[in-house]
Structure 1
Amino acid sequence: MIEGAAFDADAAILCIRFRDNGTYFYFDVPEHLFDGLCKAASAGTFFNERIRDRFRCERDPERRRFRPEA
């Protein structure tokens, strides 16, 4: 589900790159949640339980998906 994640501590922005859905930015995320995501046995489960639908997010406007049906 998750390919990678990065965190900007100064801006409190969590960036998550999903395998099928592109990259999203999550705003006002505490750094301890990023640390927990990195240490979790399942990043997907941690994301769904602790981050998803709890923080404002935006899709990365620079990310484009190319699919056969596009």
Structure 2
Amino acid sequence: MPYFNSSAVKRAEYDEQTMRLRLWFPNGHYDFCRVPMHIWQGLLHASSKGTYYSDYIRDRYQC
């Protein structure tokens, strides 16, 4: 489970089998469902985790 040096997204966990992404923010954690592997990989490699979250994850993968 990677920890990020980000003010927006503190850490993340991804389960390949269920395609569930859990993100920890300063105010708690949230789950995202049916997240494709390429989105997870994109988050891992993004220079800004907060911007990537806003652009590619937020409001797209509700459980």
TM-score with structure 1 setting the length: 0.76
Query: Please, which of 18, 29, 42 is the counterpart of residue 25 of structure 2?
Result: 18
2:14 matched residue in structure 1: 7
Paired residues, number: 56
1:33 matched residue in structure 2: 39
Q: Which amino acid aligns with 1:49?
A: D
- The two structures, once aligned, show a CA RMSD in angstroms of 0.8
Helix, strand or coil for the counterpart of 2:13?
Answer: strand
The runs of 5 or more residues in structure 1 that have no matched partner are 58-70
TM-score with structure 2 setting the length: 0.84
More helix by share: 2
TM-superposed CA distance for 1:55, in Å, is 1.1
Structure 1 ranges of 4+ moved more than 4 A? none
More strand by share: 1
